[in-house]
Amino acid sequence: MRVAQVIVGPDQHGVVQFAHRIHDAVVGVGGSSVLVRQVDRPDDASTPRVTGADVAHLHVTDRLFGSPADRAADAVATLVDAVRADGVRIVVTLHDVPQPSDGRAFAVRTAAYRRIADLADVVVVSSEHERLLLADVGIEPAVLEVIPLPVETGHVTEVDSPGAATVGVLGFLYPGKGHVEVAAALPPGTDFVALGRPSPGHEDLVDDLRAVSATARVTGYIEDDDLPAALHAVTVPVAHHRHLSASGSIVTWIEHGRRPLVVTGRYTRELDARSPGVVTLYEEDDLAGAMRRALADPASTWIASGVIAHPTADEVGRAHLDLYRASLRVST
């Protein structure tokens, strides 16, 4: 069985990085996986081809394929038509599943994701929470599997950082991610750092941050080689994104040995149950209190020795191989 991982988008994007990790995980457990890579959005004139594969695995979030979301669905349909012409089965992992917090974009995103799901032979999501979000909007593919994001547990001796205590939020700045709320709730004498850059079109959030916290700092994109030092320098890592569906930024904290504060919700409860000891839950109205407690006990923001997060890369690789084999059985 030969599998092609079809990856569209810039290398810095979390979904693209995740897709590369799925390829590595499949190869790591003995599977045959090749990369079909395209940075630009596909169209009729530039669509990647898949040859010699039995299964093509596409990794989709609408923002990588076009805006508004209906244009993204058009681009995905173009890609799927080109791939299916070669007779392969189509597996699609959906990221950033639509939910009511999308506001005015919710309806068009829902319609786009329904169309994309209908194009696939098998649909994958990264959490039980995402499966329920799809069900909430009536998207119920004939074959739907939940395979959580792979995570490699980081174990690092607690780092003492000189200077003022800092609270950090990792990832793109965009509405609803929680940057402004965290900065506004900072305990006195604490600095705020946004580890990342504004999402396109939301550069104004930098000014919003500085309006609520004079100490707020935005790093811009952090290269991989510089990421460990940046994440270890933060006193308290926080993920206050209240409407996430599966979080690459939380996984990144965990993989660097950090135990972030995460607001209680369906997804974070699922994560905590699957991997006890890798996050610290707090209620949404207790953000300031959670930060104060963590600042008073910095050791609580580091993953203790012996704690292991799941699923591991090997677990994810085997789950995908089983999925690919099942997709071929369904076709016969």
Q: For residues 174 and 104, what is the distance between their CA atoms, to the nearest angstrom?
A: 15
The per-residue pLDDT for range 222-249, each reduced to its tens digit, is 998 999 999 999 999 999 986 565 567 8
The whole-model pTM stands at 0.83
DSSP code of residue 36: E
CA distances from 16 to 22, 39, 60, 158 (A): 10, 9, 9, 30
* Mean pLDDT confidence for 76-97: 90
Which residue's structure tokens are 């990085």? 17
Residue 332 pLDDT grade (very low, low, confident, very high; cuts 50, 70, 90): very low
DSSP SS3 for 182 = helix
Nearest by Cα to 25 from 327, 315, 332, 322: 315
- Say which residue the tokens 């693209």 belong to: 16
- For strand 55-60 and strand 2-8, is the pairing parallel, antiparallel, or unpaired? parallel
List the domains of the chain with CATH numbers.
2-150+312-331 (3.40.50.2000), 166-301 (3.40.50.2000)
User: Averaging pLDDT over each range in 53-57, 152-156, 162-166, 172-176, which range is the top one?
Assistant: 53-57
CA distance 5 to 233: 35
Pair 151, 275: CB distance under 8 Å: yes
**Predicted pLDDT of residue 31:** 95
Q: Give the C-alpha separation, 162 to 85, whole Å.
A: 59
Which candidate, 62, 66, 2, 69, places its Cα nearest to that of 32? 2
Gap between the Cα atoms of 56 and 305, Å rounded = 39
Report the residue count for the chain: 332
In the prediction, which pLDDT does 330 show?
Answer: 61
How many CB atoms lie under 10 A from the CB of residue 87?
Answer: 10
pLDDT digits (tens, 9 = 90+) for 116-164: 999 999 999 999 999 999 999 999 998 999 999 899 999 888 777 767 8
DSSP code string of 71-124: HHHHHHHHHHHHHHTTT-EEEEEE-S---GGGGGGHHHHHHHHHHHHHH-SEEE
